[in-house]
Every structure is written in C-alpha cells, then in structure tokens.
Amino acid sequence: MSDGMGNEPISIIGAGLAGALLSITLARRGHRVRLYERQDDMRRVQVDAGRSINLALAARGIRALELAGVMDRVQPELVPLPGRMLHDLDGALTFVPYGQRPEEVIYSVSRAGLNCILLDAAEDAGVELLFRQQAIGADFTRQRVVMQSDDGARQTHEIPMHRVFATDGAGSVLRRAMVEKLGVACTEDLLVHGYKELTLPPFPDGTPRIDKHALHIWPRGGFMLIALPNVDGSFNVTLFLALTGPESFETLNSPDSVDAFFAQHFPDVRHLMPDLAAEFLQHPTGIMGTVRCQQWSVDDKLLLLGDAAHAITPFHGQGMNCCFEDCRELDALLRDSQDWARSFREFESWRRPNTGAIADMAIENYLEMRDTVRHPKFHLHKALSLELERRHPQRFVPRYSMVMFRDDIPYALAHERGRIQNEILDALTQNADTLAAVDFDAAARMIEARLAPLPLPTR
Ligand SMILES: Cc1cc2nc3c(=O)[nH]c(=O)nc-3n(C[C@H](O)[C@H](O)[C@H](O)COP(=O)(O)OP(=O)(O)OC[C@H]3O[C@@H](n4cnc5c(N)ncnc54)[C@H](O)[C@@H]3O)c2cc1C
C-alpha cells in the first residue's frame, strides 16, 4: 500500500531510543511509518528496558529531542548534574564541575521513562506501532526482511526491503545479515570489563542518601563504581570491573565475597545499599563493546542507524546522544533531498568518522574515570583547561565540553582538537604544579598557532 506521498510505508526495526525518535522525525516529514519491536509494549507491560536503568542526556541528545518536539515532555523527568563527585577510599569527597557556565550541565534520565515518552509521541505523530515482532533475517536478493511474530504461534512473515531502517541495537540482526550475506566488513570488539547494576534507595521519606546533583564516581584504578540519580531520590549504581581474573565478576560469586569486596573498596557506600549482595548475585553481568561497520546502507533500501551501526562503550555517556544526533542529521539530509540512496550515502560518509571518534573518546574516558581522576595532574589539567577557555573562549574549549555541551562541534573535530589541547596542557604543566606557575604568554602563543577559532556557540 502506498502513502499519501506516493511512497510505500517506511519500516523501522527496533523501537528503542533511536528507532522511536527516528519514527517521529520521519512521520513529521509526512511519511507513513511502521515501527516494529520484538518486545511487548513497555508502556503497558514491564519489559526488560535493555541496558542501564538511567542515562546521561547532554546537548546533542537534547537538540534532537527539541527538533522532534518532545523536549517539553522529557523536561520533568530530568535530574541536572553539574559535575562529578569523586569518592576516595577514606570517604573524602571532591566535586569537579563539568563546565563553567550555568547551562553546562548534563542530565540523568530514566531509560524506560524516556523510551515511553518517545513511543507516546510516535503514536501521536501517526506512527503504527507493532510489538512482539522480531526481525530474524534478511534476503537481499529478494529484498525482504524476515520477521517472526510472537503471538503464541511464532509465525514468520516478510516485509519488503523498501526504506527499512535497522535500529535493532548493538546485536543488530540486520547488520549481521549484511556481514554474512553481502560481505560487509565489521568488527565487534568486546571489552574485557563488564558491568553490574545495583540500587541505592532513598531514605524512607524520599530524601536521597548521597548528593542528588552529581554523577558520583568511586575511581579505583582497574575498576570503578558510578551512581546516577533518579527523580525519586534513588540512585542507579553501576560497577565496572574485569569479567575474569583474580578480582573480577568471576570471583565475586557469593554474598561474602561481594560484601568483602565492597567493604574493602567502597566502604562509604556499602552500608547505603541494603540489598547489595542479593542484587549483585541476582542481576546479570552486562557486556560492552564497540561496533565498527564499514557499510551502513544498501542502496535506498536499508539503513543501519543508532547502536546497530556504531555501538560504543558507555564511558562518555554519549551512546544515546549519538543515536539521537544520527536522527537529527539524517532528518536534515532528507529535508534537503528526495534522493534516498544519496542521503543514505551522505549520512554514512559524514557520520562514520564522527561515530568512530566518539567510540575512541569513550574508551579513553574509561581510563580517565577509573584512574586518571585520582592523580593531582588531572585536577591541574582540568583547572588549566577552564582557565584557558576563559582566556581564549573561541579557541580553547575543553574536550569534555565540546563533546557534551557543543552540539555544533562534530565528534571528530572535538577528538582532533582535544588531542592538540592535551599536548598544550602537557607542555604547560611540565614544569608547573599550580595554575600560578603556568606561563600564560607561552599558552597564548601555542593556542594561537595551533587552534583555529571555533564558531561561537549556537545556543
Ligand atoms: C551500561 C550502559 C550505560 C549507558 N549509559 C549511557 C548514557 O549515560 N548516555 C548515553 O547517551 N548512552 C548511554 N548508553 C548507551 C545507550 O544505551 C545506547 O547507545 C542506546 O540505547 C542505543 O539506542 P538504540 O535504539 O540504537 O538501541 P537499543 O536501545 O538497544 O534499542 C534497540 C531496540 O530494538 C529492539 N530489537 C532488538 N533486536 C530486534 C529485532 N531483531 N527485531 C525487532 N526489534 C529488535 C530491542 O528490543 C530494543 O527495543 C549506555 C549503555 C550501557 C550499556
């Protein structure tokens, strides 16, 4: 059946964060959209909302949500996080602001809450939602996607490969079909570290047990614990740790071993989590990795988008933000052209270097979060970065700020400028242990020579 624009309906496979937002942007352009999801409708039935209970939302994600007209609905669900709260072994706390302007904050948001808002908005935009429909394969010769409906009988059926968007996440069936059947080059690099999610409940009256307006980090060198607040005063706590080895998820396999591990490494938070050992042993250990795929589209038929195209590790809090930016940038290309194949090609050739850059920066950030933050030089570099930004606001913007607060700076540019800025910081702090000892004339010379002016922030 054809829609009012003379086109077949568009199919989106996977109604997670990327698929739901994409369906809204396409429907708002006047297309008829069908959104297929293998799970039940999470607004009516409790389903596994996927990885991580809450997420950090930043400028790139917010901009895309605004363009899709859903930010008003999302706003009440946000907890602002102006900085990191570092917990050392003795329980001493150090607050490190993320930026230096009032608007330079990130936000904690419930994954399921956000996904439900997007599904409601998709329905309001006229998207047809089809649950318990799983893509199980693809036939590129006959141009069909093979689906299985889980309505008790597990029936299979096919949908035409006509403008299919694969937003089926990091383990994408459609990406793997492209690899197997079309010989597309793709790597899936699993990290040797995994993660475990735990709960830090509020006091009975709803008061949070730790400061609600910070992303808490317990950096311990080879591993770390983090906590993100929820609107109800609870925290979602995540342990990132090696999967195997002497101190690993493999060895934390009894209530005593879990308790002893937390008592040794996280004594200040252990007693705040009453169900610690039980949750630890019940909850699954998640795995993380980076997907780098050399081809995201098949003519004008199929496009991978979101984690399906470029899953990254979570250490920069950018996976979802990056997926939302995908939706916004694709929308801009489709606005300017009726040629789908060309838009798909342009999308992947512009996005791939950028998603590759954020994948690299996410891995680099893991080392920073779990280890580098413990060293005095880190704090000097942070303070100096902010001072250089005050003195040279158009040329020196800390890398974290470019990634999290500047949606007008592509990831690849942030990565490249961040590398140069690091060299400048290293040079300036080689013989300086305090800000007062830094040679700011030399700094000005280096910055003018090596960092071209950036455009002024667009918001
Ligand atoms: C521990 C952790 C913490 C994270 N923290 C952050 C953060 O703070 N900030 C941030 O920006 N990002 C974060 N991320 C990354 C973020 O979760 C992902 O980038 C984001 O969820 C990707 O969205 P997606 O829609 O592409 O994929 P998914 O969210 O995985 O959604 C895929 C959807 O497709 C469905 N599906 C899968 N297979 C099929 C199929 N065969 N047929 C039909 N449907 C299918 C799934 O059920 C799901 O609904 C984190 C990730 C992890 C693991």
Is residue 85 in some structural domain? no
Confidence of residue 374 (pLDDT cuts 50, 70, 90): confident
Mean pLDDT value across the chain: 95
| 147 Cα nearest atom in ligand 1 | 42
For residue 307 and ligand 1, the question of a CB distance below 6 A is answered with yes
Q: How many CB atoms lie within 10 A of CB 257?
A: 14
| Residue among 36, 39, 55 whose CB has most ligand 1 atoms within 8 A, to mutate | 55
Instruction: Tell me: do 357 and 431 sit in the same domain.
Output: no
| 173 Cα nearest atom in ligand 1 | 41
Is residue 423 in some structural domain? yes
Is residue 456 in some structural domain? no
Instruction: Tell me: do 169 and 179 sit in the same domain.
Output: yes
Choose the final residue of a domain: 229, 256, 287: 287
Confidence of residue 7 (pLDDT cuts 50, 70, 90): low
311 CA → ligand 1 middle, Å: 8
CATH number at residue 305: 3.50.50.60
Instruction: Tell me: do 355 and 402 sit in the same domain.
Output: no
Q: How many CB atoms lie within 10 A of CB 270?
A: 16
| Residue among 168, 191, 235 whose CB has most ligand 1 atoms within 8 A, to mutate | 168
- The stretch 86-109 carries a mean pLDDT of 95
167 CA → ligand 1 middle, Å: 9
Instruction: Tell me: do 183 and 55 sit in the same domain.
Output: yes
Is residue 95 in some structural domain? no
Mapping DSSP to helix (H, G, I), strand (E, B) and coil, where does residue 288 land?
Answer: strand
- The stretch 200-221 carries a mean pLDDT of 96
* DSSP state letters, 216-245: EEEE-SS-EEEEEE-TTS-EEEEEEEESSS
Instruction: Tell me: do 225 and 301 sit in the same domain.
Output: no
For residue 323 and ligand 1, the question of a CB distance below 6 A is answered with yes
| pLDDT at 441 > cutoff 50 | yes
For residue 404 and ligand 1, the question of a CB distance below 6 A is answered with no
Instruction: Tell me: do 180 and 197 sit in the same domain.
Output: no
Instruction: Tell me: do 239 and 211 sit in the same domain.
Output: yes
Measured CA to CA, the distance from residue 442 to residue 388 in angstroms comes to 12
Structural domain range at position 166:
10-77+109-188+289-365
Mapping DSSP to helix (H, G, I), strand (E, B) and coil, where does residue 325 land?
Answer: helix
Let me know how many helices (H) and strands (E) the chain has, helices first: 15, 19
| pLDDT at 271 > cutoff 90 | yes
Residue from 127, 168, 173 nearest 35 by CA: 127
Beta-strand ranges (E) seen in 167-234 are 186-200, 215-219, 224-229
Measured CA to CA, the distance from residue 417 to residue 398 in angstroms comes to 9
159 CA → ligand 1 middle, Å: 23
Choose the final residue of a domain: 342, 365, 388: 365
- The stretch 26-49 carries a mean pLDDT of 92
pLDDT at 459: 66
Beta bridge partners of 224: 219, 240
pLDDT at 334: 95
Q: How many CB atoms lie within 10 A of CB 418?
A: 19
50 CA → ligand 1 middle, Å: 6
- pLDDT of 281-299, one tens digit each? 999 999 999 999 999 999 9
- pLDDT of 315-338, one tens digit each? 999 999 999 999 999 999 999 888
Quote the percentage of the chain above a pLDDT of 90: 90
Instruction: Tell me: do 220 and 314 sit in the same domain.
Output: no
- The stretch 141-168 carries a mean pLDDT of 93
Least confident of 5-9, 74-78, 357-361, 454-458: 5-9
| Contact residues for 457 (Cβ-Cβ < 8 A; gap 6+) | 406, 408
Is residue 248 in some structural domain? yes
Instruction: Tell me: do 163 and 245 sit in the same domain.
Output: no
Residue 290 burial by Cβ neighbours in a 10 Å radius (0-12, 13-18, 19+): buried
For residue 20 and ligand 1, the question of a CB distance below 6 A is answered with no
Confidence of residue 52 (pLDDT cuts 50, 70, 90): low
Choose the final residue of a domain: 264, 287, 310: 287
DSSP letter at 201 equals P
Cβ proximity of 123 and 43 under 8 Å: no
pLDDT at 8: 79
Instruction: Tell me: do 35 and 128 sit in the same domain.
Output: yes
pLDDT at 316: 97
Distances (CA, A) of 249 to 246, 259, 260, 284: 9, 13, 13, 10
Instruction: Tell me: do 70 and 201 sit in the same domain.
Output: no
pLDDT at 5: 45
Confidence of residue 253 (pLDDT cuts 50, 70, 90): very high
Beta-strand ranges (E) seen in 209-341 are 215-219, 224-229, 235-242, 286-293, 297-298, 302-304
| Residue among 51, 60, 176 whose CB has most ligand 1 atoms within 8 A, to mutate | 51
For residue 37 and ligand 1, the question of a CB distance below 6 A is answered with yes
For residue 16 and ligand 1, the question of a CB distance below 6 A is answered with yes
Is residue 345 in some structural domain? yes
pLDDT at 154: 81
Cβ proximity of 353 and 359 under 8 Å: no
- pLDDT of 217-226, one tens digit each? 999 999 999 9
For residue 227 and ligand 1, the question of a CB distance below 6 A is answered with no
Is residue 295 in some structural domain? yes
Beta bridge partners of 145: 138, 159
Question: Residue 24 CA to chain centroid, in angstroms?
Answer: 20
- CA torsion sign for 50, 52, 54, 56 is negative
DSSP letter at 16 equals S
20 CA → ligand 1 middle, Å: 11
Distances (CA, A) of 111 to 75, 215, 282, 295: 14, 16, 21, 28
Residue from 311, 15, 240 nearest 134 by CA: 15
| Residue among 176, 320, 330, 361 whose CB has most ligand 1 atoms within 8 A, to mutate | 320
Measured CA to CA, the distance from residue 178 to residue 186 in angstroms comes to 9
Q: Tell me the whole-structure pTM to 2 decimals.
A: 0.96
| pLDDT at 153 > cutoff 80 | no
For residue 219 and ligand 1, the question of a CB distance below 6 A is answered with no
Is residue 36 in some structural domain? yes
Confidence of residue 3 (pLDDT cuts 50, 70, 90): very low
| pLDDT at 2 > cutoff 60 | no
| pLDDT at 50 > cutoff 60 | no
For residue 13 and ligand 1, the question of a CB distance below 6 A is answered with yes
For residue 126 and ligand 1, the question of a CB distance below 6 A is answered with no
Number of domains in the chain: 3
Measured CA to CA, the distance from residue 170 to residue 238 in angstroms comes to 20
Instruction: Tell me: do 340 and 403 sit in the same domain.
Output: no
